[in-house]
Amino acid sequence: MKVDILEKKLGIPQGIEVQIDGRIVTVKGQKGAVNREIKNPKLDLKKIEKEVILSAKKATKREKKEIFTYASHIKNMFKGAKEGHEYQLKICSGHFPMNVSVSDNELIIKNFIGEKYPRKIKIKDDVSVKIEGDKIIVEHVSKELAGQTAADIELLTRRPGFDTRIFQDGIYIIKKDGKDIA
């Protein structure tokens, strides 16, 4: 069943600037700027005073899903521009002491389970990766870039075919954007 007009209004938080240029939304705040393209041509995007309005005429179930999905993305952009997104990983080494370092936009893991050659990964653009003791902190304005970088670091120490309850060496995500993972 089609709805004549479906709208979702998002209030713009204080200290955040929003610009809409065609189908591209740009959000600027204290931590930086992030932008996203609204790809569905059936969705309309407007900024009126202190609100961003996503709407669709003759909306079906598909457009309703997309409106609420893009609304969540824009809320994440607000949070990222204001506070930033932070992921925490823990370095766990039981048998061989692991050496983790960051240099020249690259994360290097030496002596993982006694390996001779280091494991390396390129850090995505403008993502901040800091090592504090046995924790790695990944920060960025974009939730997608911060989360993907944290996942890439975790996958760097993945060992398929081994039971993780017994072989616990590796780097694991312990906080996803402020939410503890137990």
Q: How does pLDDT run across 79-102, given as a tens digit for each residue?
A: 999 999 999 999 998 878 999 999
Question: What CATH number should be reported for the domain holding residue 152?
Answer: 3.90.930.12
pLDDT band at 177 (very low <50, low <70, confident <90, very high): confident
Domain check: are 161 and 122 in the same one?
A: yes
Domain total for the chain? 2
Residue 74's pLDDT is what? Answer: 94
26, 54, 82: which is the final residue of a domain?
82
The pLDDT of residue 129: 95
34/75 same-domain check: yes
Higher pLDDT, 54 or 125: 54
Max CA separation in the chain (angstroms): 64
Question: What pLDDT does residue 33 have?
Answer: 93
Q: What local confidence, expressed as pLDDT, does residue 95 receive?
A: 79
CA distance 86 to 146: 7
Per-residue confidence (pLDDT) for residue 102, from 0 to 100: 95
pLDDT tens readout for residues 138-157 = 999 999 999 999 999 999 99
Claim to verify: residue 53 and residue 117 sit in the same structural domain: no
Structural domain harbouring 127: 85-180
Per-residue pLDDT of 107-122, as tens digits, reads 999 999 888 999 999 9
Examine the domain organization and report whether 70 and 117 are in the same domain.
Answer: no
> Residue 182's pLDDT is what?
61
Q: What is the pLDDT of residue 14?
A: 92
Place of tokens 């709407």: 55
Identify the domain boundary among 54, 82, 110: 82
DSSP string, 90-131: EEE-SSS--EEEEETTEEEEESGGG-SSPEEEEPPTT-EEEE
Q: With a cut of 80, say whether residue 61 has pLDDT above it.
A: yes
Among 48, 82, 116, the domain-final residue is 82
Q: Do residues 89 and 154 both lie within one domain?
A: yes
Contact 146, 86 (CB under 8 A): yes
Q: What is the pLDDT of residue 59?
A: 84
Residues 92 and 17 in one domain: no
Backbone Cα Rg of the chain: 21
Percentage of the residues of the chain whose pLDDT score is greater than 70: 99
